[in-house]
Amino acid sequence: MGPSDVVIPVYPVAGAPSNGMTVADALIQELAAALVTYLRTQRSHVIDLTCMPLSGEDKERLDAYLGLGETSMDIHALLRTRIEETRYAGVWRVRHYGPDDTVQSERIEVIDVPEIARASTADIGRSAQRLAAVKGEEGVWQTKP
């Protein structure tokens, strides 16, 4: 038997919560309230799951509750970021991955579009300059007399 065959259980075997309420249930309640708040005030909400002590069961429950929606996006910047809309419009899962594909940050965002997906004004400004430089080099758009 190799070391990988030794399974160390994370929680006591006979330790289900007595009232049937899990952390996942609590998070769903928080998200429901956050959606209502967003509709009224446009105030976004973030739940950071990275350091939350979720059990495997909690994670499965949360995944089952939220499901997968219509939209997903990948960002390749300093890190790799995967954005997935859940089956509830306005509730997004945003995961940042390190170079070795480990999750470095995992959060649920309640907003129309996660901020990181938007192109920032500063970046658009630099794009305009760069594109103008390309135009200048190639002379494509220069109007002829």
Partner 1 sequence: MADETIAEVLEKRGFTRRAFLQLCATVTAALALSPADAAEMTRRLQSAPRPTVIYLSYQECTGCLESLTRSFSPGLASLIFNDISLAFNDTLQAAAGEAAESAKDTAMKKAWGKYLLIVDGSVPLPQNGAYCTVAGRSAISDLKHAAGGAAAVVAVGTCAAFGGLPYASPNPTGAVPVSDIVRDRPVINVSGCPPIAEVITGVIMYYTTFGLPALDRLRRPTNFYGNSIHDRCYRRPFYDRGLFAKTFDDEGARQGWCLFELGCKGPVTHNACPTMKWNGGTSFPIESGHPCLGCSEPGFWDKGGFYRPLSVPTGHWSRAGVIGGAAAAGAVTGLAVAAVARSRQDRAQKNRQSGTDKKNPKP
8 binds partner 1 (CB under 8 A): yes
28 binds partner 1 (CB under 8 A): no
Which residue, among 107, 59, 57, 56, has the nearest Cα to 81 in the 3D structure? Answer: 107
Residue 10 Cβ, how far from partner 1 at the closest point, in Å?
Answer: 6
Applying CB under 8 A, the span of 39-47, 62-70, 84-92, 128-136 interacting with partner 1 comes to 39-47
Figure out which of the listed residues 18, 19, 42, 102 binds partner 1, where binding follows CB under 8 A: 102
Inter-residue contact 22 to 61 (CB < 8 Å): yes
Which residue, among 40, 49, 41, 57, has the nearest Cα to 92 in the 3D structure? Answer: 49
46 binds partner 1 (CB under 8 A): yes
CA 59 to chain centre: 15
Inter-residue contact 81 to 98 (CB < 8 Å): no
Binding footprint of partner 1 on the chain (CB under 8 A): 6, 8-12, 15, 45-48, 50-51, 53, 75, 77-79, 81, 94, 96, 98-100, 102-107, 115-116, 119-120, 122-123, 126
